[in-house]
Amino acid sequence: MENLYRYFDRDISWLSFNYRVLLEADNDSLPLYERINFIAIYSSNLEEFYKVRVAEHKAVASGGKSDGMSVDEARRLIHEIKERVNAQLDDRVRIYEQKILPALRANHIIFYQGRQEVEPFHKEFISRFFREELFPYLQPVKVEQGKVRMFLRDKRFYLAVRLRSRDTGERAFYILKIPHSKVPRFVVLPPKDGNYYLMFLEDIIKMNLNEIFTGYEEECSYCCKISRDADVFVDDVPPENMVEQLKEKVKKRKIGAICRFVYDRKMPDDFLDFLVEAFGINREELVPGDKHLNLEDLSSLPNPSPVNLSLSKPAPMRLPGLDGKHFMYRRIAQRDLLLYYPYYSFDHFIRFLYEAVHDSQCREIMITQYRVAEHSEVIGALIAAAQNGKRVTVFVELKARFDEENNLATAELMRKAGIHIIFSIPGLKVHAKVALVLRADRNGKPLRSYAYVSTGNFNEKTARIYSDIALFTCNPAIVEDMRTLFGVLKREVETPVFKRLLVARFNLLPELRRMIHHEIQLARSGKEGRIILKMNALQDEAMIDELYRASEAGVQIDLIVRGICCLIPGESFSRNIRVTRIVDSFLEHARVWYFGNGGNPKLFLGSPDWMKRNLYRRIEAVTPVTDKRLKQELTDMLELQLRADWNACWVDNQLNNVFKRPGHEGSIRAQYEFYRYLQECYMKPGVENGDSTAPVV
């Protein structure tokens, strides 16, 4: 029987999400530098998208193998991506030139956009800055067709210059690498008459090209850049060879195949034609860009004005008593604890580890590592535990994209400290965010042990900007399940049985289907069927079909999906499904699932999105939340996000972001309202906030 269900394309859906990010820069109600930061985030996201997703499609379009796409399908998708991206970039130009730059000027910050705008009183400063700070780092390379090609590096951008000889009248072409690692991208110029001035590094170079190319007259100059294929495949490599193979692959990332050539859209056609021929660029890889490239750098745009033009974000809370002896142990022993990052400080987890370091009855710490911060406090605590005589086991996922080098370096650091390192499993990624502290007395008798399951990484830096949730528990069933999970990672357990945890590739999918079917049965019997799913991405067609069938049966379904959502709402088969997207100060990263269960809701949190890779090719861990008060907290959070009308939108059946426009005094901004909710919760009289005297046993 033909499947009449339909789905959005994964990459086109992602472009809809990234465009939603860009629209925050168009939001006049936000502080100016917050809007500028959203342009940077949009640009950074797009760069990675081209280096990974588009590069993969280009490989298929060139005849490479793919399980799910033909050559013609890949070519059509690349064309559609190009059309949509070009339209979005036109919007980025509009927002930047017509809204951001005038808003800066209105705040007395003059951001020069070229030599024509520079005031006479700054020309001497610019000339001196060029001679003293820039000139020593500039190495122009002549570009000639038919000669050896200069290699254009990834993550760099260049100035292409066309000159004419004063003696012969002949044209010459040169490429200059912008020395961004030597000199700041944005130069702060001397203020004057209450105004503050900024300038792009490349514009200063353009103003002084005559100092570099003596004997030539400049005709024109434009910026350009290359994005290269950045994916790394080591899935089929045996564990004993994985580290060396990965090191080699990461090195080659810098010389990967070109997946796009971005150039200033005002570049004349004949100039572009010359560069395309000289560098062997495929015209399918051409992407017209802005005058100034690498706008992800705008995240570090200086604010020379004394006026604060940034957003004052909520300061992370600390539970009262955190610095007390065995605070985390005692608090978790009292009852399960949920912490919501970044509303709560990640210091709680660091403190939890150090309590284990100094606990004479702690025998072993086990943890997974997917992405950690550079100079990680988590790694420091684990090393301290090993040095204090604890057995420490860390599963290091080497295949975490763009974190491979950091994971290799931290793994070697931990190995030297005596930590037992387990590396990636061939063909699988371990994406679970879990930790386990095992305790026993001197005779080996087990004592209360502690488990931690999170939606986010063990990364204190991203924990300040990603919205995640973590469960601390000493529930014996979850502790035992965690031991089993680490047994799987150590390859000591082949057929695990989990009582509470839902683990991808074992019991996760059967349990999800069972709970969806239960809601269908409730709806068909005239009772309320209710599902709320919060996640980053929804792609797997098999699970989308389950939701479509539930909708057809009358189950009311709300999806809170930040990024990719291949489910199409508003169709006959999805009329009971609504899709909400929230983009605000913090990156919504938590995965929380709610099943109504006939009035006795079941709630879960964990690491997986409903992507094919998460459900079928990764080890993911999900925990039930059983404490009545914590279940209510999660339910309140979900309901708050569904009611939000500020920085929230619907996604319709055309992938449009349909804003829930605030316009009244009671408008709800979910992230800030939830912060206030948590303040009230843990300050309420009678709510356990760390003053427990429960013994640590």
Burial of 19 (C-beta count, 10 Å sphere; 0-12/13-18/19+): buried
Q: In b/e form, how buried is each residue of 383-400, taking b as 16+ CB within 10 angstroms?
A: bbbbeeebebbbbbbbbb
Residue 258 tokens read as 């070109």
H/E element, 520:
helix 508-524
Number of Cβ atoms within 10 Å of the Cβ of 275:
23
Is-catalytic flag, 518?
Answer: no
CA distance 391 to 365: 6
Instruction: Indicate the SS3 state at residue 645.
Output: coil
Cα distance between residue 689 and residue 354, in whole Å? 20
Backbone angles phi, psi at 331, to 5 degrees: -65, -40
Residue 323 DSSP class? T
Asked if 647 and 473 count as a contact pair (C-beta separation under 8 A), the reply is no
Q: Is 400 helix (H, G, I), strand (E, B) or coil?
A: coil
At CB < 8 A and 24+ separation, what contacts does 528-531 make?
528/556, 528/596, 528/598, 528/599, 529/553, 529/554, 529/555, 529/556, 529/596, 530/555, 530/556, 530/557, 530/594, 530/595, 530/596, 531/555, 531/556, 531/557, 531/558, 531/593, 531/594, 531/595, 531/596
Edge-first strand listing for the sheet containing 556-561: 502-503, 621-625, 602-606, 592-595, 530-535, 556-561, 577-582, 648-651, 657-659
Question: 431, 517, 518, 589: which is the annotated catalytic residue?
Answer: 431
Token pair for 42: 């949009």
Token digits of residue 248: 């080699």
Tell me how far apart the alpha carbons of residues 630 and 475 are, in angstroms, rounded to a whole number. Answer: 14
State whether the Cα torsion 169-170-171-175 is positive or negative. Answer: negative
Structure tokens at 402: 């763009």
User: CB neighbours of 395 closer than 8 A, spacing ≥ 6?
Assistant: 366, 367, 368, 369, 422, 430, 486, 489
303, 300, 271: which is closest to 288 by C-alpha?
271
Catalytic residues: 431
